[in-house]
Structure 1
């Protein structure tokens, strides 16, 4: 379980989140929503231990993330960034195998169990046929799937993803989020991902976390829809949110921010 306690994040005098508190339970798929620049990536990095809070603390199963050793953290949280990754001198299978680093011996030698987890991770994201290929010859979406497979191979109870669907077309976005939902529910993982795909978040996620600076709202999806927070955050001349249908309608020139 992830717990935020009176957490304040920001840069200098610019406060993104001010003394926010919430809990994220095991077995949940959680979508993190917010406009560009509101701190979604910063919050994920803070949970990962890569960003130092100005105040407050982040707990993972009751332990402060800031006090966990790197090897402990690597066995508890995996992180997929939104950065485009191109690794030319490693096969996709080797890239995914890096996710097993927290479990291998000092020379990094994979055991049979490690190889099985790598194979299964690639199968889950539909990339088994790419095992011998290198990422410099693949599309953005294919590379993103490989990085997600690496996180799955790491086999952590918590998976954080920063806009994992950014480079995927709509059918593949939905398919990927269905996979994340299955992992959360069946493998009892806590999965949090930032996204601009509001329709997918509302239809598949058990919980919605919404940043409306400097506040953070975290509610079960049905309660978030009724709360009016989404309508208020995304309200402008080109976007209409229908809480009854849980759908976003965008005019011809409008874009979700």
Structure 2
């Protein structure tokens, strides 16, 4: 397994977001992380990336405890694409994607032929080869998001985390981007975890869905999540109890 959470607690100030979470995410799979606003989706992603603390428990990445990894080891294991709009006027798309090679270049960041080949492949995989010499300030939100995913691919990590990658896109581009992530997970054998509010995309295009219902995280295959009743539980506000034996929710 690529990501393993063992008895994780997460908090925001004095507020508990997640408690005693135990789950894992596998290589070659695309998982959507869903939940209401403010329930800790971004906090969880940042904790898995090593960019935020856990209150208790242990995170393992590719079998190695996150707490024991050096910054360089983390950079070679997990890539993180934030939800921020990125517009870098003075750098070409090729230059932006090349930043993903930072963990592997020498101390002055000089690119070798092998690095350039990785950058070219990353742009090709996201369908942006023709944009290599263009600057991002002259591109659409969807095109820019693909470039940022290419940068994560150039980082050549087995794990990719994305925080709301479809947030600023229209519906056709949301589906196009989610389809791209699915293909990368399956064809490149990446473990990809992304947060989203698009339930239809999560259920129709993802292999599994991780649902935050504070303070619990439920992780199920997408088809089982659709039938479990957890979504109805989350958005109806009714009290319920999840039965792990039947993987369903019993309303109280």
Using structure 2 for the length normalisation, give the TM-score.
Answer: 0.89
Aligned to 1:165: 166
Aligned to 1:25: 26
Structure 1 residue 52 displacement after superposition: 0.5
Structure 1 residue 40 displacement after superposition: 0.4
Q: Secondary structure at the match of 2:167?
A: coil
Structure 1 contact 125–176 (Cα < 8 Å) conserved: no
1:100-123, Cα deviation, whole Å (9 max, x unpaired): 111112221112221122112112
Q: Secondary structure at the match of 1:89?
A: coil
Output the CA distance in 2 between the equivalents of 1:72 and 1:138: 33
Output the CA distance in 1 between the equivalents of 2:124 and 2:229: 40
Aligned to 1:249: none
Output the CA distance in 2 between the equivalents of 1:207 and 1:134: 35
Structure 1 residue 62 displacement after superposition: 2.2
Q: Relative to structure 2, which stretch is displaced further, 50-59 or 166-175?
A: 166-175
1:166-186, Cα deviation, whole Å (9 max, x unpaired): 122222221221121122112
Aligned to 1:139: 140
Output the CA distance in 2 between the equivalents of 1:97 and 1:120: 11
Structure 1 residue 56 displacement after superposition: 0.7
Aligned to 2:100: 99
Structure 1: segments with no counterpart, 5+ residues: 237-257
Aligned to 1:127: 128
Q: Does 1:152 align with 2:150?
A: no
Aligned to 1:252: none
Output the CA distance in 1 between the equivalents of 2:185 and 2:146: 17
Output the CA distance in 2 between the equivalents of 1:225 and 1:61: 29
Aligned to 1:117: 118
Aligned to 2:109: 108
Output the CA distance in 2 between the equivalents of 1:143 and 1:187: 21
Q: Secondary structure at the match of 1:171?
A: helix
Structure 1 residue 44 displacement after superposition: 0.2
Aligned to 1:210: 211
Output the CA distance in 1 between the equivalents of 2:82 and 2:113: 28
1:20-56, Cα deviation, whole Å (9 max, x unpaired): 1101111110000011111100000000001101111
Structure 2: segments with no counterpart, 5+ residues: 238-252
Aligned to 2:194: 193
Output the CA distance in 2 between the equivalents of 1:39 and 1:187: 28
CA RMSD of aligned residues (A): 1.4
> Structure 1 residues 180 and 56, CA, compared in 2 at 3 Å: closer, same or farther?
same
Aligned to 1:239: none
- Runs (4+) of structure 1 exceeding 4 A deviation are none
